[in-house]
Chains A and B, each alone.
Chain A
Amino acid sequence: MDTLILSRIQFGANISFHILFPTITIALGWVLLFFKLRFAGTGDQKWVEAYRFWVKVFALSFAMGVVSGITMSFQFGTNWPGFMESVGNIAGPLLAYEVMTAFFLEAVFLGIMLFGMSKVPSWLHTLSTFLVAFGTTMSAFWILVLNSWMHTPAGFEMRDGVAFATDWWAIIFNPSMPYRLVHMLLASGLTVAFLLAGLSAFRWLIGDRSEGVRATLKTGMTIGAVLIPLQILAGDFHGLNTLEHQPQKVAAMEGNWETGPNVPLVLFGIPNEETRSTDYEIAIPNGASLILKHSPDGVVPGLNDFVAEDGTVQHPPVAPVFYSFRIMVATGVAMLLLSWVSIFFMARKKRGVESLPKPFLWAMVPMAFSGWVATLAGWYTTEIGRQPWLVQGVLTTEAAVADVPAPMVASTLIVYLAIYAALLAAYIGVLFYLARNAAKGEPLGTRIPAAPEAQVTVAAE
């Protein structure tokens, strides 16, 4: 393998690992603020219980996000120097604003939010919780501005192969930004919704009947049931926006080779770039035309339009985009079914969690990580769908890669992969360990015993 593909795998592995944790912290920050405000409003202890447990998940996720994020900020330089050299005038200020308006805010107030409850007035603690949630959301805003600009660049001019900003408003509010931002924020909300419900269902199944666990399970399922239809709608709008600006990506998602009307919606198949057709296709007639053009004879672009006369392929690799899109949609459908049927059961019998059939609770446990699956699959769809471009129409991925010897990239890649695998296992293990401890009603082991008195006695002797 050469430096390009190894660097792509390395950055892909890094950003995949990284995004797992911000996806949790962006929405969980707001959920914690909700728990805190509910307690302030009702005085009900269950909200404190909920806060106490989930703030631990937040702290752990935040640390994982911070360290994997630092790694990425360095990899721009070590692996992709061409990116900053050619579009640095645009990417630079956006990243700088992310660090200045988001990173410091979250990092400083996280300290007060986690350890300051007994040291600062209640309002300052609530304000800190708000600022942490606000900071994570600001961070998402800036990074999605940059990512969207890479898909739908605007507000710049090229001089000698270097992009210069001409209109910052157009850069920030580039054509795909609003859709992508909404889609990602909803994805974060759904990830947290199912994580809340999943870990709470696990606690319930091992015998936890506390008010706190009831509250978080219901909160999770309710957020899930409300957000999933919104997400399907947002996804549809985002798809139409992509059709306008990156038709080759949509063609790959649909597995559609020839441009034309009455294009079927391929539910499943095996895209074959050799024969330039989709094998074993199961499809709904006119489906893709209906979804994308809202008319059965709507003309949908096909992949064959994106092959140069000399046979050079100018569209993304079809299979990964085609499959990840289907994984994302399938996960979304599973989320819809589980959350709506659960809410239906809970509402009909009015006995809350007790009225849920056991298999539902069991299904919720693996679904705790359904948000991760859908988010990753969605990101793979859009990012692989942009290839061979790094910045659509401006800079190819190949032109941006560093001239580092392949064995060096390979060896660091192996180390990163090993660490990420180990940390992911440790992270999931600790989530369930915390859940089991909470279910047993034991103190959660957050207190770090300091025993300064004992120390002083020793010193006095």
Chain B
Amino acid sequence: MYLFGDPTTWLPLAFATLLGLSILIYVVLDGFDLGVGVLFPFAEHDEKDRMVASIGPFWDANETWLVLAIGILLVAFPSAHGTILTALYLPVAVMLVGLILRGVSFEFRVKAPIRHKGAWDAAFYVGSMMTSLSQGYMLGMYIMGLEVTAFTLAFSAVTAVFLTVAYSFIGATWLILKTEGALQHKAVQWSKGGIWGVVLGLGAISVASPFVSPRIFDKWFSMPEFFLLLPLPLMSGALIVLLWLALRRLPTKDDSFAWFPFAATIVLFVLGFFGMAYSFYPFIVPDQLTIYEAASAPESLFIILIGTLFVLPMILGYTALSYTVFRGKATALSYD
């Protein structure tokens, strides 16, 4: 335990990193399958089946990253877990109801009598919207330090919309990769319509965070940090320009570069996430509680860490296996 010096220093940091990693993987992975749900009303009947087929084998494992994230928050930072979740009681409830609705709709829409399929499709859309909006709202409230005022509510309403549009964007880029024909054409159009959500979302968070907290302002705008951090916004800007150029040319005749928008969006999400992580470190409840104050007993964290070091590579390994098995364009889902 004393291998790397004082465990009360490095263990909380290790778990904050794991927590961040889980949230990031969750936002990317469930982001695209939530986004596909958000795009549902824009699709024709048979297109909906193919959209679901593109995420069918993955959605369950994607959501498990949320369970892992909330689990790490729960086990590694119990007091922060209590503070954050009781402060976000109602949006969490909305998100859970949303996750329930969309999760069961995957199964019911193809197993229930055909005349009910429309209703389950609607439940899938409503569930995806509830989940995305409430997550965006919680993101906003978190940035605003979990305080409820008219301004923070308004800001959170805005982040709710932007995150939902951003999810629909990564969902659309996933569909460019996984579909062909008319649906792929549509997905390109949806991406063009959604990219503004990403730009405005990243912009709003970047502008708002420093002005809400003087501490974050100092972290960004003091020298030499300012120049060291400059690549983050510059790379994001460049990626957005490249994305826009690519979307104007897609889909190509030989389907080349169909992977590019999805890959670029992942990088964009990662960059945005690093910016946020940098802003909030070392706090886990913004400006109230640091990861060091909130951490569990070292002996408990240590026993989880050992397990994690064994299991996480295995999880990543068989997740990769699953994405390899179901690579290529989405085909009809069948149990045969």
Contact = CB atoms under 8 A, between A and B. Distances in A.
Q: Main SS of chain B's interface residues?
A: helix
A61 B144 CA distance: 39
A66 B307 contact: no
A447 B332 contact: yes
A100 interface: yes
B303 interface: yes
Interface string B63-85: 11011101111111011011111
Interface stretch (A91-99, A217-225, A262-270): A91-99
Contact of B76 (A56, A92, A114): A92
A450 B332 contact: yes
Contact of A63 (B64, B66, B103, B333): B103
B6 interface: no
Contact of B49 (A408, A445, A450): A450
B40 to A, nearest CB: 15
Interface stretch (A37-45, A78-86, A279-287): A78-86
Nearest to A433: B113
Q: Main SS of chain A's interface residues?
A: helix
B331 interface: yes
A412 B93 contact: yes
B274 to A, nearest CB: 25
Interface in A399-447: 402-404, 408, 412, 415-416, 419, 423, 426, 429-430, 433-434, 445-447
A77 B81 contact: yes
A449 B110 CA distance: 10
Interface residues of B, number: 81
B176 to A, nearest CB: 14
B251 to A, nearest CB: 9
Listed residue (A96, A164, A452) with the most chain B CB atoms within 10 angstroms of its CB: A96
A92 B298 CA distance: 12
A84 B72 CA distance: 12
Interface in B86-102: 86, 88-90, 92-93, 96-97, 99-101
Contact of A78 (B72, B86, B112, B336): B86
B288 interface: no
B224 interface: no
Contacts of B96: 70-71, 74
Contact of B104 (A67, A107, A164): A67
Contacts of B184: 459
A448 interface: yes
A110 interface: yes
A352 interface: no
Contacts of A459: 180-182, 184-185
A88 B74 contact: yes
A74 B85 contact: yes
Interface of B: 46, 49-50, 52-53, 56-58, 60-61, 63-64, 66-68, 70-76, 78-79, 81-86, 88-90, 92-93, 96-97, 99-101, 103-104, 106-108, 110-114, 180-185, 296-297, 299-300, 303-304, 307-308, 311-312, 315, 318-319, 321-322, 325-326, 329-336
Given A74-B92, A104-B64, 5 more contacts: A81-B86, A84-B81, A85-B78, A97-B304, A100-B307
